[in-house]
Amino acid sequence: MREGALGKEYFGGEPIVQQGETGDCMFVVQSGQVEVVQKVDEGEQRLAVLDTGDFFGEMALFEREVRSATVRALCDARVLKIDKKTLLRRIKEDPLLAVNLLQTMSHRIRELNAGLAHAGAKSE
């Protein structure tokens, strides 16, 4: 990991957040790609690949729970860390930011629900 003027650069394979750790911030991918993986009985399951402009870890801003997945750089990636105070200030400056955040979260929940419905149909 290398620190820059804005964000941090992570090398391919380097973890950014770890499943099970307590989080208090979210992250925005500034460049490169990161993968979201979750531990399962057989090892790991990839949940998503995120590109430049995507964000992750937002649940930690709303709930002081442990991280539900590990996120690591797929290749060299620059990632910006955003704490709750900074996010709230930015939302006050640009309320559309909150709308975009909610749209993305809603989309992710809808995809999760569809995946669960598909998995339930397979097991019947």
**R_g (Cα) of the chain, nearest Å:** 15
The pair of structure tokens assigned to 78 is 């620059």
The pair of structure tokens assigned to 28 is 């925005």
pLDDT, average across residues 13-26 = 94
Q: Across the beta sheet with 55-56, what order do the strands follow?
A: 2-3, 8-10, 77-83, 25-31, 55-56
pLDDT, average across residues 50-76 = 91
Side-chain half-sphere exposure of 66, counting CA atoms within 13 A? 8
Topology of domain 2-83, CATH: Jelly Rolls (2.60.120)
Is residue 5's pLDDT more than 60? no
pLDDT, average across residues 53-73 = 90
Is residue 80's pLDDT more than 60? yes
Please report the pLDDT score of residue 111 as a whole number.
Answer: 83
Is residue 61's pLDDT more than 60? yes
Is residue 39's pLDDT more than 80? yes
Domains of the chain, by residue range, sit at 2-83, 94-124
Cross-strand partners of 81? 27
